[in-house]
Amino acid sequence: MAFIPEEVIDQVLRTSNIVEVIEGYVPLKQTGKYYRALCPFHTEKTPSFTVNPERQIFYCFGCGEGGDVFRFLMRREGFSFPDAVRHLAERAGIPIPERGRPREEGVLKLFELQRLACDHFRKTLKGPEGTAAREYLSQRGVGSEAVERFQLGYALAEWDGLVREITRLGLTPRQVEAAGLALPRQGGRGYYDRFRDRLMIPICDSTGKIVGFGGRALGEQQPKYINSPETPVYKKGVHLYGLHLASRAIRETRVALVVEGYFDAISLHSAGFPQTVASLGTALTADQVALLRRYADKVTLIFDPDPAGIQAAWRGLELLVAEELGVGVVILPHGKDPDTFARESGKDALLTRIAAAQDVVDFLLSRAEERTGLRGVDDQAAAARQVLRLIALMPEGVRRAKYIQKLAERLGVSEASVMAELRRLGSPDSAGPSAPRPSAPLPPAEKTLIQICLLFPETRPLVWGAIREEELSASPLRSIYGVLREFRGSEEGLARSLNHHPDPLVRQVAAELFVRGVEEFADPHRMVQDCLIRLKLQEVQVELKSAREQGDLVRVQALLDQKRTLTGGRISETDYIN
């Protein structure tokens, strides 16, 4: 691994505002001196993810994940530590004079390859080879502004056009393959482009980094669409197309419009609906819904009226309801998808449709009525059970009560009978994967003592001569104490060494201790003395028990005198009981 000088790492860390970096992934809400959000690393309903801008630390009180801005990127993007440093250095315009072996290949290299490929595709779209692709875009009503905004391009109708271009820039065909952009020829005789003669549509993560591509055939090629394979930076079902462009509008309105395909999203953005994202041609996944939950309070699904579109809407409803999101469903006229409807009918017509979006009860009952007419008791009971399976996913509250009331009214039955059926169906215990269990509670006196040592360097000399590392009972606190005693360097370097400690439990505990602000400790010197006294009292109490069991009355008396001194003369009567 190439060596990055410590002074450069420190400069990058000082220059990178952790709040600004994390807000590129998660919408943060300021609460006093801290920022909070739903944790991006586990499923939760109440925000427990906390960022301390003063100490440039994050910590989740739900799952225990925490650390500095480097650690966040390592966890969120899968970066190695050097890659996280390089990423933030590039963002801040800080050059890195690396020494040692050549730069390692990793996640950053894959992002670089996606960017180079996108530049190549955009260039070919504008050249003479891209004439047919430009005509296709024109026919679909995609203007030049949308082409630039969504970075659309064209893959040449050649076997190795991209491979040759990338290798010309100094990279290898094997690296192009690792990025999902090339395939090895049979017999191992070189590589050829995965995408050929296709309109190229970059897929970006929530921060705008290109992670993969979708390719739309221009001729008679099959399949009509192909996507990048999974790579370390692209996982199917995780990303939402257009989210990096839509996130601001979604945050402002707290409503997301969700469509299926690339061109559905492009057309709705062009028509004046910047809060639109696409599920990349599939039904919504749990990962995508969790991503939406960080930005929106309500999701409106706009799908085709064909059976596949209806089924996709149904599968998305379960996940959205489980995440406690408000849901609306817009089913377009037959023969229209969101792309064609937006282009042919215009913004006002789509606004009218969105305003009249059906809620969960209306959507499911309308579909059941189309199938069966809901004329018989059995048909109504079956439809009620389908709706109630979704209502059962909701927590107790106003929304759930209103849906129950509405279902009863639509079916002409009492709310009591609906509630009875809901109880019979039962409610699931959990709407999603739970957060990892927290570690066993740390001894309060030990935890507070180490926390003060971390936050107030001037108190450390008081502790060094009073307690030894092995006297601490909690393993992670012993490790942190050891680092504190041995570390020679800046406070920034100390924090970094703990945030990137090889033991994940040490990292977790250190982040939790670091995240609190110094203003929460009114008198740290007095608190250190109190903690030391409590720890000594605990030690005396253990020895006192042993002395009593051994019948050593002289030792018992000496320990009681020591305890009286530690407590300022205060001592419990039970201490005298043999």
What residues are paired with 328 via a beta bridge? Answer: 300
Q: Which of 61, 92, 123 is the last residue of a domain?
A: 92
Let me know: does 403 contact 391? Beta carbons within 8 Å.
Answer: yes
**φ and ψ at residue 430, rounded to 5 degrees:** -145, 140
For residue 339, what are the contacts with CB-CB under 8 A and spacing of at least 6? Answer: 140, 261, 263, 264, 266, 267
Report pLDDT for 284. 86
Tokens in use for 221?
A: 């090629």
Q: Percentage of residues in the chain with pLDDT exceeding 70? A: 93
Q: Indicate which CATH number applies to the domain containing 461.
A: 1.10.860
Residue 191: per-residue pLDDT: 94
Region of residue 412 (left: phi > 0; alpha: psi -120 to 50; beta: else): left
CATH at 150: 3.90.980.10
Q: Where are the alpha helices (DSSP H) in 94-189?
A: 107-126, 131-139, 144-149, 161-168, 173-178
> 353 pLDDT exceeds 50?
yes
- CA dihedral (275, 279, 283, 288) positive or negative: negative
Q: How far apart are the first and last CA of the chain?
A: 64
Asked which of 63, 92, 121 is the last residue of a domain, the reply is: 92
Predicted confidence (pLDDT) per residue in 67-125, tens digit = 999 999 988 887 888 888 988 998 888 887 755 444 445 677 899 999 999 999 999 99
When mean pLDDT is compared across 76-85, 438-447, 462-471, 503-512, the lowest value belongs to 438-447
Side-chain half-sphere of 495: how many Cα atoms within 13 Å? 27
Based on the domain organization, do 387 and 325 belong to the same domain? no
* pLDDT of 577 higher than 50: no
| Angle in degrees, CA 349, 352, 357, rounded to 5 | 130
pLDDT tens by residue, 266-282: 999 999 999 999 998 66
> Same domain, yes or no, for 407 and 473?
no
Domain shared by 350 and 369, yes or no: no
Kind of pairing between the strands at 57-60 and 49-52: antiparallel
Mean residue pLDDT across the chain:
85
Higher pLDDT, 159 or 316: 159
Q: Residue 167: is its pLDDT beyond 90?
A: yes
Task: Note the pTM of the prediction, 2 decimals.
Answer: 0.66
In this prediction, residues 322-335 reach a mean pLDDT of 87
| Domain carrying residue 208 | 107-227
CATH number at residue 77: 3.90.580.10
Q: How confident is the model at residue 544 (pLDDT cuts 50, 70, 90)?
A: confident
Secondary structure element (H or E) that encloses residue 67, with its range = strand 66-67
Is 235 among the domain residues? no
What does the alpha-carbon distance between residue 278 and residue 342 come to, in Å, rounded to a whole number? 15
Same domain, 302 and 211: no
555 membership: H or E segment, kind and range: helix 553-566
**Backbone phi, psi, residue 259, to 5°:** -120, 180
Sign, Cα dihedral of 447, 453, 456, 460: positive
- Of residues 318 and 438, the one with the higher pLDDT is 318
Question: CA 362, CA 328: separation in Å to the nearest integer?
Answer: 10
- Beta strands 210-217 and 198-204, pairing class: antiparallel
Do 353 and 377 have their domain in common? no
User: Are 113 and 102 a contacting pair, CB within 8 Å?
Assistant: no
Which pLDDT score, from 0 to 100, does residue 98 have?
56
CB 67 within 8 A of CB 511: yes
At 238, list the tokens.
């995780």
Q: In terms of C-beta distances under 8 Å and separation of at least 24 residues, what long-range contacts does 504-507 make, across chains too? A: 505/439, 505/475, 505/476, 506/476, 506/479, 506/480, 507/66, 507/67, 507/71
User: Is residue 575 one of the residues assigned to a domain?
Assistant: no
What letter would DSSP give residue 575? G
- CATH, residue 380: 1.20.50
Same domain, 332 and 368: no
Indicate whether 214 belongs to any domain.
yes
Whether 257 and 338 have beta carbons less than 8 Å apart is answered as: no
- Please tell me the predicted confidence (pLDDT) of residue 179: 94
Same domain, 161 and 215: yes
The answer to whether residue 361 scores a pLDDT higher than 90 is no
- Identify which of 398, 391, 379 has the alpha carbon closest to the alpha carbon of residue 421: 391
Residue 571 confidence (pLDDT) above 50: no
**Rounded CA gap, 54 and 514, in Å?**
10
| Reported confidence tier of residue 433, pLDDT bands at 50, 70, 90 | very low
- On the question of pLDDT at 430 being above 70, the answer is no
Among candidates 235, 238, 254, which has minimal Cα distance to 294?
254
Q: For residues 544 and 549, give the distance between their C-alpha atoms in angstroms, rounded to a whole number.
A: 9
Please give the Cα distance from 484 to 285 (Å, whole number): 45
By C-alpha distance, which of 539, 492, 516 is closest to 12? 492
User: How much is the average pLDDT of 190-205?
Assistant: 95
Whether residue 574 is contained in a domain is answered as: no
Tell me the Cα Rg of the chain: 30
Residues 6+ apart with CB under 8 A from 371: none
Q: Are residues 386 and 471 in the same domain?
A: no
Nearest 10 degrees: Cα torsion 489, 494, 498, 499: -120
In this structure, is residue 76 part of a structural domain?
Answer: yes
Tell me: do 202 and 281 sit in the same domain. Answer: no
pLDDT at 59: 93
User: What local confidence, expressed as pLDDT, does residue 213 receive?
Assistant: 97
164 neighbors 192 (Cβ within 8 angstroms): no
| pLDDT at residue 575, as a whole number | 43
Distance between CA atoms of residues 449 and 532, nearest Å: 8
Please check whether residues 340 and 369 belong to one and the same domain: no
The pLDDT of residue 428 is 41
Do 328 and 402 belong together in one domain?
no
pLDDT, residue 281, reads 67
What pLDDT shows up at residue 226?
93
* 27 φψ region: left (φ > 0), alpha (ψ -120 to 50), beta (else): beta
Tokens of 326: 């408000």
Judge if the upstream peptide bond of residue 95 is cis by omega within 30 degrees of 0.
no
Query: Of the given ranges (117-126, 159-168, 288-297), which has the lowest mean pLDDT?
Result: 288-297
Q: How many domains does the chain have?
A: 5
Q: Of 266 and 531, which is predicted with more confidence?
A: 266
- pLDDT for 72 equals 93
HSE, CB side, 13 Å, CA atoms: give it for residue 239: 29
What are the residue ranges of helices labelled H in 230-359? 243-253, 262-270, 286-293, 307-322, 338-355
* CB neighbour class for 30 (10 Å; exposed up to 12, middle 13-18, buried from 19): exposed
Tell me: the pLDDT tens digits for 377-427? 887 888 888 888 888 877 777 888 888 888 888 888 888 888 888 888 764
**Is residue 28 located within the same domain as residue 137?**
no
Domain end point (choices 92, 121, 143): 92
For residue 32, the one-letter residue type is G
Residue 507 within any structural domain of the chain: yes
CA–CA distance, 89 with 176 (Å, rounded to integer): 25
The 3-state DSSP class for residue 206 equals coil
Domain-located, residue 571? no
Which helix H or strand E contains 540, and what residues bound it?
Answer: helix 524-550
Residue 102 lies in a domain: no
The mean pLDDT of 336-352, rounded to a whole number, is: 94
CA distance 175 to 105: 9
